[in-house]
Chains A and B, each alone.
Chain A
Amino acid sequence: MKNIFVLAVLCLLNTTLLAQTPARFTLQGQAVDTLSAPLPSSTVMLLSPKDSSLVNYGRADEKGVFTFKNLKSGEYILKISYVGYLPFNQLVKPTGEAIINLGELQMKPITKELFEVVVRTAKAPLTIRGDTIEYNASSFKVPPGSTVEDLLRKLPGVQVDQDGSIRAQGQEVRKVTVDGKNFFGSDPKLATKNLQAEAIQKVQVYNDKTEQAKLTGVDDGKKEKTVNLELKEEFKKGGFGKATVAAGPASNELPLRAEGKASYNKFNAKNQFSLVGLGNNTNQQGLSRDDYQDFRGSNAYNSNQNADFGFSGGNFFYFSDSGDEGLGIPVSGRQGVGFSNNAAGGANYNYDTKEKKLSGSYYYNQTRLELDAERRRNSTLPQNEYTTDENSNQVNFNGNHRLSLRYEKQIDTLNTLVFINNSRYGFGNAQLLRNQLLTRSDGATTNNESTNRSDQRQFATSNSLIYRHKMKKKGRSFAASATYEINTNDANLLLDSENSYTGPIRPQDQQPNIHQDQRNNTVRTEYKASLQYIEPIAKRYFWETFYNFSLRYDEVDRDVFDRGDRTYVRNDVLSLYYKNNYVYNRLGSSLRYSHKGLNVSAGLAGQRFTLNGEFAPDQMAPTFRSINRVFTTAIPNVNLNYDLKKNRYLYGGYSVDVRIPTSRDLQPVINNSNPLFINRGNENLLPQLGHSVNVGFNYFNPGSFINVYIGTNATRYVNQIVYSQNTDPQSLVTVIQPENRSGGQNLGAYTGFGFPLKKTKATLDLNFSTNQGRSPVLINGDLNQTSTQGYNGGARLSLTPVEWLTFYGNANFGVNNTQFSISPNRNQTFINNNFSGELTLKLPAGLYVNTNLNYRVSRNASLNFDQRIPLWNASVYHILGKAKRAEIRLTGIDMLNRNVSVSLNQGVNYTQSESISTLARYFTLGFTYNMRGVQAKMRKDGFF
């Protein structure tokens, strides 16, 4: 009531104050229906005739009577609205009189059909233009696959006859247009019978001039009923593609360099289809991240993928199996080392609706990689010292067919089902020629000359089914998953190794020559199941419980034969038949508190590993050695995420990461493919536990563009899987074997600070990190602790002063100290500094220049190692045409011709330098065509 009083006072005030002004007038009227019955409390508005803007408004009284007092002289549109009636519009012109009384203003009711069906049921907006009414057809639900004709039948006021002819508001429709344009001639049925209802956004029924009138420009007064169908935006289909080819002359004694890449995408609201293909001999081994996103479309990144439930906030258990290529499509932006020829191609299809999402893809890639390496190694044994000079040439070929399938079904609002399949069939062969010369301090030498020829076929598939159920109670949910994985590898190796000796080496320390056929057949199968239940036990408190089961079955059948001149004898030392079950059970529970950006959880899980295996030289062997181990452990978990005011973020936690030994580490296989470095698995390995604590803080000020982060983490290992080494002092054969060792630890800290020197023009980012580690390992029977301390600092300057110039500069400094407890004389300091700059210039006439220089400095004073490698790349490009769809580009890679891959590393009893020849200077001239246009990238992109 208060407001009405205020209004009344204001009205009074105004009336008295402004009463003298003659240019003002009072407007009166009464809103009634077609039977002159008053429409009480209807909304009355005065609009400016110029742009319909609202000037004034009020409410009529219970008799529908309204009065606007003190109106400025001028024209107004009077608009009255009342629920269930067509809004009333009338132009009001001043008459010069002080009071204009419009009398009864009749409002037409909206037909009951329109009101109930269109507005209330279909919830479609009605657009009123004079007497014609338009509405949104997409609000009317028709079964998928229906035609426009089926849709029209549902619309009030529209009839469709048996023969398909259409009548709207009683009149026959003579013309159907689509987006205002004629659709396949003049027969209206063609459009309505052929177009899908789903594609229609709006149906407009209106009276159009006849074709005759349009042609002559003379309005004959006749009107034709016309239906216009407006297509949905997303149904305007899209397609785009791009292709790049580039080639350059032979250089550095290499034949010509060439690369090519092409992709094509076609999509509409529900479907995405894409093709991609690439080939090159410039070490580009796969799709870039952008290419991958274009290829996989809506399936590039998926949520709802994880079938192994665990503590929320990370910390999953995982089996990591090194050596195999993953099941997913490889994505890399990096240039590989050596010389590689690469080819890849694939097709992807996604179908997405709210209820159903289906995606399938096929991808093939192959790489032929040639590596020429030189290694020099100085080793120290308690008894003596020796050097190893190694030269090797290796040609590897690898091909992979990958298939992936994903199906997600939203059964209803509470139930979701996801099926994920990823499979790979890989094949490859390799040829390695290697020469190793071992020179002892007394001058005696071992020269090993070996050839490895291998081929392999692998098949791997992983299938997961995940079911999620939300309960009626908000926050309560249940999930279950099942996974089946199989991985087979069938490999053959032809090994030929010959040794020659000089100097005083006893015959018993000389290694026999090896001529072997090795056939390996391994199968790894895994069955997994997981359950999860979340219960909201109180407001803001959630109790989460999970259970995981996994059974991994490994089987290795390895047959090794010694090839003699006329003999072919099975080697019982190296041959092996091994099978093993690794059962894992975990039950865990945690309590989480979530409120206002604070999420804290604490939990505990118990897990049990049971290892049952047996092995013998052969399946037929009379006796098997058996392995039976049980390992039980409790793992606590604490997790904190705190989203604080003003873009500050605090996080931390304590977790125990469990790493299960890989199949390769577990199998008691003796791998002699390098007869001087023998790897042997360890069937008694236990899972590695890493107790980790971390805490960190982030801050970002979007107003001043300042960001700060700081954090620290520490890990202590129990049963860490480390690789012990044992070198026979006489034969110099080293045996490497994984084993469990406790006591290793790692401590790290990092911080960063970024701020604008001048907003939007210059930004400086600084960062610093340090790492202190310690790991124990047995070296020739002695327990050695390797301690490392690393310090890294960096600065990055981004200069974007004008639109036509950008510069990014980086400087990174690194110092690494290493100490070995059993040989303090080998303690050392490595320095790795890296400086780089990238400049992009936009020149007149659509010409662009991009150039970058990277300067790497590696130094080790005690080893007299000092290497400085500058790599300079540049390209000049021009964007062609008005539509800017094509680009021509001249590129120079490593223009100083200095690229080599050289590295130096040092272990407890050795120092090794390695150099691999790698693709260096080359030039290419390239051409790109992109249907969506080529844009020169001046600035580096962040995430938008």
Chain B
Amino acid sequence: MKNLLLALGLLLSLAATAQDAKTEGVVTYVRKERWLKITNRLTFLSQEQKDRMSQTFKNWAENDKGIKMKMSFSPTESLYTYNSDEPEEGGYSWRKSDLFLYRNFAKERKIDVIEMLGKTYIVDDSLHVPVWKIGNQIKEVAGYICMSAETQDTIRNYKVTAWFAQDIPVPAGPERLNGLPGLILELDINDGDVLIEAVSVQFRPLTPADLKMPKQKGKKIDDAAYNKLIRDYIAEQMTAHQNPYWEIRY
């Protein structure tokens, strides 16, 4: 979809009328992973084992309150990471694997710092936009009317449904997804395996600190190498009868 990227830059004889300042700020998301649903995708488990897990742990899974993520966005840049390092509700503090996803829409570049598989990887590449299919649904997310769009992840082999705001013209989005005519406020991965939902959108001018990437040492790779790493790991784990999604982000 090179032409889309191209298109992004070109044309748009987009009347440069000053939009209302609704293009810069911070979104807070809640990310909920339904691991029982994910377990049901494991090819090596029998139906009996899947049922057993679902029946035994359904209450545990329901109690999962999810984890808060945040994204600073402007029309040209975005940074998606954890909302906070502090433990929620006075509980124990668990370490979160490093995750900083930076996008520069003007320069069409991205830098992702992702800790996985025992290493820190820095994915430095141009901005690739997935093939988005625009749907015919609208709904409200965090007070904004959003349209639906769909794309297929061919590596993890699932469908991703995104809901983007009709009136926040920023191509940013959570996780590694972006490139829609509006800010993505909700992501639904594989019909609810993972749900990332905006809980609040705060418009304010960003400070340099909002978009600051931490100084990270790591192995520099590009998108192709990242995709190969994930693809190989999933195949390997399925062969070894292990759940690959404990160690990589679903």
Asked whether, in the complex, the Cβ of B138 is within 8 Å of the Cβ of A82, the reply is no
Given contacts A127-B136, A935-B48, contact A759 B236 (CB under 8 A): yes
The answer to whether B133 touches A53 (Cβ under 8 A) is yes
* Complex Cα gap A942–B182 (Å): 43
Residues of B within 8 A of A942 (CB): 241-242
B26-34, B88-96, B205-213, B220-228: which lies at the A interface?
Answer: B88-96
**Judging by beta carbons under 8 Å apart, are B11 and A595 in contact?**
no
Contacts of A119 in B (CB 8 A): 138-140, 145
A54 touches B137 (CB 8 A): no
Set of chain B residues within 8 Å of A573, measured between Cβ atoms: none
Chain B residues near A84 (CB-CB < 8 A): 145
Known: A47-B134, A646-B118, A760-B240. A3 touches B90 (CB 8 A): no
Identify A41's interface contact among B115, B135, B167, B236, CB under 8 A: B167
The dominant DSSP class at the A interface is: mixed
Cβ-based interface call for A495 (8 A):
no
**Does the CB pair A59–B15 fall under 8 Å?**
yes
Given A43-B166, A51-B133, A542-B90: A3 in contact with B105 (beta carbons within 8 A): yes
Chain B residues within an 8 Å CB radius of A54: 4, 131-134, 149, 179-181
Please tell me if A181 contacts chain B, counting CB pairs below 8 Å: no
Q: What residues of chain B lie closer than 8 Å to A154, measured between beta carbons?
A: none
Q: Is A90 an interface residue (CB 8 A)?
A: no
Within 8 A of B (CB), among A1-58: 2-4, 6-8, 10-11, 13-14, 41, 43, 45, 47, 51-58
Contact between B133 and A932 (Cβ–Cβ < 8 Å)?
no
Q: Which of A79, A477, A701 contacts B118 (CB 8 A)?
A: A701
Is B14 within 8 A of A4, CB to CB? yes
- Identity of the chain B residue whose Cβ is nearest the Cβ of A44 in the assembled complex: B181
| B103-131 vs A, Cβ < 8 Å mask (1 yes, 0 no) | 00110000000011111000000000001
Interface string of A508-547 (1 = CB under 8 A from B): 0000000000000000000000000010100110100000
Check if A594 sits within 8 Å of B145, measured CB to CB.
no
Interface residues of A in 282-303 (CB under 8 A from B): 290, 293-294, 296-298, 300-303
A645 is an interface residue with CB less than 8 A from chain B: yes
How many whole Å from A8's CB to the nearest CB in chain B? 7
A267 to B54, CA, bound (A): 11
CB under 8 Å from chain A, chain B span 141-195:
145, 147-149, 166-167, 169, 179-182
Contact: A59 with B119, CB < 8 Å? no
Contact B139 A124 (CB under 8 A): yes
B214 within 8 A of A: no
A939 within 8 A of B: yes
Task: State whether A703 touches B117 (Cβ < 8 A).
Answer: yes
Q: Does the CB pair A352–B58 fall under 8 Å?
A: yes
Are B140 and A298 in touch, CB under 8 angstroms?
no
Stretch at the interface among A66-74, A840-848, A895-903, A910-918: A66-74
User: Closest residue of chain A to B240, judged by CB?
Assistant: A760
Most buried by A among B53, B117, B139, B246: B139
Contacts of B55 in A (CB 8 A): 265, 267, 272, 293-294, 297-298
A236 cross-chain contacts in B, Cβ below 8 A: none
Shortest Cβ gap from B153 to chain A (Å): 15
Q: How far is the CA of A129 from the CA of B135 in the complex (A)?
A: 10
A3, A644, A646: the one contacting B75 at CB < 8 Å is A3
* B42 on interface, CB distance cutoff 8 Å: yes
Q: Which of B10, B39, B47 has the most CB of A within 10 A?
A: B10
B17–A45 contact, CB under 8 A? no
Q: Do the beta carbons of B243 and A944 come within 8 Å of each other? A: yes
CB-based contact B11/A14 at 8 Å: yes
Residues of B with C-beta under 8 A to A300: 56
Name the A residues within 8 Å of B181 (CB-CB).
43, 45, 54, 57-59
Instruction: Tell me if A320 is interfacial: C-beta within 8 Å of chain B.
Output: no
| A771 CB → nearest B CB, Å | 30
Q: Are A58 and B134 in contact (CB under 8 A)?
A: no
**A128 in contact (CB, < 8 A):** yes
Complexed CA–CA distance, A641 and B91 (Å): 13
Residue of A nearest to B181 (CB): A57
Nearest residue, chain B, Cβ from A139: B139
Q: Tell me if B56 and A301 are in contact (CB < 8 A).
A: yes
Specify the chain A residue showing the minimal Cβ separation from B145: A83
Asked if A702 is at the interface (CB within 8 A of a chain B CB), the reply is: yes
Chain A 115-140 per-residue mask, 1 if CB under 8 angstroms from chain B, else 0: 00001100111111100000000000
A596 touches B95 (CB 8 A): yes
Contacts of B60 in A (CB 8 A): 301, 303
Q: Is the CB of A41 within 8 A of B19?
A: yes
The complex places the Cα of A470 from the Cα of B91 at a distance, in Å, of 12
Residues of B within 8 A of A58 (CB): 11-14, 181
Q: Which residues of A contact B14 (CB under 8 A)?
A: 4, 7, 58-59, 61
A917-943 interface (Cβ within 8 A of B): 930, 932-933, 935, 939, 941-942
User: What's the least CB distance linking A709 to chain B, in Å?
Assistant: 15
B167 near A123 with CB under 8 A, answer no
With known contacts A58-B12, A61-B15, A704–B118 Cβ distance under 8 A: yes
B56 touches A298 (CB 8 A): yes
Judged by a CB distance under 8 angstroms, whether A643 is at the interface is: yes
Residue A746 interfacial (CB < 8 Å): no
Question: With A354-B62, A645-B115 given, is the CB distance from A129 to B136 under 8 Å?
Answer: yes
Binary contact track B239-250/A, C-beta < 8 Å → 1, others 0: 111110011000
> Which residues of B in the span 2-24 have a Cβ within 8 Å of any Cβ on A?
3-4, 7, 9-17, 19
Chain A residues near B137 (CB-CB < 8 A): 125-128
Query: CA separation between A618 and B127, bound complex, in Å?
Result: 89
Cβ-based interface call for A865 (8 A)? no
Q: Mark B59-98, 1 if CB is under 8 A from A, else 0.
A: 1101100000000000110000000011111111111101
Asked if B12 and A128 make an inter-chain contact with CB atoms under 8 angstroms apart, the answer reads: no
Assess A2 versus B7: contact at CB under 8 Å? Given A60-B15, A357-B59. Answer: no
Which residues of the partner chain B approach A932 to less than 8 Å between Cβ atoms?
A: 46-48, 51
Question: Does residue B52 face the partner (Cβ distance < 8 Å to A)?
Answer: yes
Q: Tell whether A240 is near chain B: CB-to-CB under 8 Å.
A: yes
Q: Which residues of B contact A539 (CB under 8 A)?
A: 86
* A754 located at the interface, meaning its Cβ lies under 8 Å from any Cβ of chain B in the complex: no
* A65 interfacial by beta-carbon distance below 8 Å: yes
Is A787 an interface position by the 8 A CB rule?
no
**Residues in chain B near residue A70, CB distance under 8 A:** 10-11
A-chain residues with CB within 8 Å of residue B11 when the two chains form the complex: 11, 14, 56, 58, 67-70
In the complex the two chains form, what is the Cα distance from A704 to B236 in whole Å? Answer: 11
Name the contact of A67 in the complex, choosing from B13, B48, B94 (C-beta under 8 A).
B13
Are B138 and A125 neighbours in the complex by a CB distance under 8 Å?
A: yes
Instruction: Tell yes or no: A87 within 8 A of B by CB.
Output: yes
Q: Chain A residues near B3 (CB, 8 Å)?
A: 55-56, 72
Name the distance in Å between A393's Cβ and chain B's nearest Cβ: 41
A4 & B16 in contact (Cβ 8 Å cutoff): yes
- A597 and B7 in contact (CB under 8 A), knowing A125-B148, A474-B90? no
Query: Does A394 touch B at the CB level, under 8 Å?
Result: no
**By the criterion CB–CB under 8 Å, are B131 and A53 in contact?**
yes
A636 lies within 8 A of chain B by Cβ: no
Nearest first, the 10 closest Cβ-Cβ pairs linking A and B are A597-B95, A61-B15, A475-B90, A125-B139, A935-B46, A643-B95, A703-B117, A594-B93, A702-B247, A56-B7
Query: Hey, which bits of chain B sit against chain A, CB under 8 A?
Result: 1, 3-4, 7, 9-17, 19, 39, 42, 44-49, 51-53, 55-60, 62-63, 75-76, 85-96, 98, 105-106, 115-119, 131-140, 145, 147-149, 166-167, 169, 179-182, 233, 236, 239-243, 246-247
Identify 20 new A-B residue pairs, CB closer than 8 A, beyond the known A47-B133, A56-B11, A84-B145.
A43-B166, A51-B133, A56-B7, A60-B15, A69-B10, A81-B166, A83-B166, A119-B145, A120-B140, A293-B56, A294-B52, A303-B60, A303-B63, A475-B90, A539-B86, A595-B93, A703-B118, A933-B46, A933-B47, A935-B47
A-B contact pairs, 21 of them (CB 8 A): A7-B10, A7-B14, A10-B10, A11-B11, A41-B169, A43-B169, A45-B181, A52-B135, A53-B1, A54-B133, A57-B7, A61-B15, A70-B11, A87-B138, A123-B139, A540-B86, A596-B95, A645-B95, A702-B247, A703-B233, A944-B45
